[in-house]
Structure 1
Amino acid sequence: MSSTTLPWTGRLPGDVSPSRTVPFARLATVEIRKLTDTRTALVLLTLLVLGAVGAMIVRTVVLAQDVPGVQDVATGTGPVLSLFLPILGIVSVTSEWSRRTALTTFALEPRRGRVLAAKAVAATVVAVATSALMIAVAYPTTAASAARGTEPSFALDPVALVGWTATNVLFTLCGVALGALLLNGAASIVVYLVASIAWGFVGLTGELGSTLARWFDLNGTTVPLADGEMSPEAVGPLLASIGLWVVVPFLLGVLRVRRIELR
């Protein structure tokens, strides 16, 4: 009887090779899909689009005395976007915990910080895509307003549009940060809405309140950015409000998610 000698492979029987790292692009793609194909997300996106288009129609066809330009029509949806995009960002994080799928998610990718970063990227992509959709829808809406016998303007200011899109991204990331910090959808939404309203009252309480609102009210500090009129004086308050409402809560949220016990 003869026996066959197998070459040494450097691995003992039963050895388990280390699993490959999940590419970040794949994580982001999965988070984008989760952000757009769940029932809650679809309801929010539908309400966002309907609300924004409704605002366009009311402004251009019903109320406006002068036909606004296509850029004014698109950016006029800002209040609607600043309401729904942060809520969408909140849901993108907190839905993992409300549906108890966090255990599965972090089992597939144990590095929880990467998962939260992928959620932030996914929310950014959705915010940019939504902004682009608003610009695209603004063209036929503006053209329809010409039925009143006036000539609409289709000129665009690229700098202002980039600033407006960046503003939408910031509000969305604010929602992601609050969701990561609180890990509770209802609480995060309440905090965001109350803070948005409260800063208006803080600014009326005196010189100190006015200064605090000027530096830390994200709704106010992003106005120059959204209008494409950033100045050196506006940079400081913008960075301060971003730090307070986006950077700090997101970093604290990452620390909390990394330490929390999954059940």
Structure 2
Amino acid sequence: MNATLANPKINIVFRSCDLVNAVHNAPRPYNLDKKTLIKVCFKSLHNALQGFNHHIVVLGDNLSAEMKAFFLTFNVELIEGIFGNDNSIRECVKIAQRFNDDEWVYFCEDDYLHTPDAIAKIVTLIKEANTIEPASIKLKQLLRKRTLTLLSIPRFFKKPGIVISPTDYPDRYVEQYRVPNFIWQTSNSHWRQISDTTFTFLMQAADIKKKKRILLNSANRANDRYLSNNLYGKSFFFNKLLCLSPMPSLSTHMHVQTMSALQNWDDLVAQLTKEIA
């Protein structure tokens, strides 16, 4: 096995600002104030990364002294500035340009909580990505107990790169937003195709460099709709990427209305709160 594939490096760009509780004023779970929420979320990610090849960059947007001191208790590269939401996204994209093409970059907002096995399952997906391929669209007919393929339409010319979104959002199970999903299995998890994300996802550095224009344009008013429409394929993957989300979720967005199901977040938050005390 290729050495890089056997031990893929993940560069985390953790985008943090503790001055704004929530961009859209959405209520936070467990009555957490923003500083505690960031600490809990970061500690969950840091715990999950242990034992894996990684580097953490904290992009601090007008950080308070308390949060700066917290991050510096870990082995991180701290980059500080006064950016605002849009420019902090652009800074993340710029930081990613310095990483080697075969490395992975995890753009992570500071309000995502991770399960202890999140990185283990993500690394397995990266290692087994050669098994992830969008199947052709086929028109078949049963004729005398034999299935004949009448038409086969390829969904890509070149196998698409993958983007990994660690969160299984609950609205994907609501009838209004439910769409057909292609599902894949790795040796330790299930993943399905999705076509929309926030700004928390993993990409290989080579794909970030190829899609730099789209990523930078999407930073205008933090437009994740533009990002999703231009970056991810749906039925076809001509010059677009295949975005995958785990089932069940490996992370949850820490807003009351968007907590992912089928994970014991209550106990995890209680444990992490003790760890950061």
- Shorter-chain TM-score bucket reads under 0.3
Answer 1 or 2: which has greater helix percent: 1
Answer 1 or 2: which has greater strand percent: 2
Normalised by the length of structure 2, the TM-score is 0.26
- Which structure would you say has the larger Rg? 1
Normalised by the length of structure 1, the TM-score is 0.27
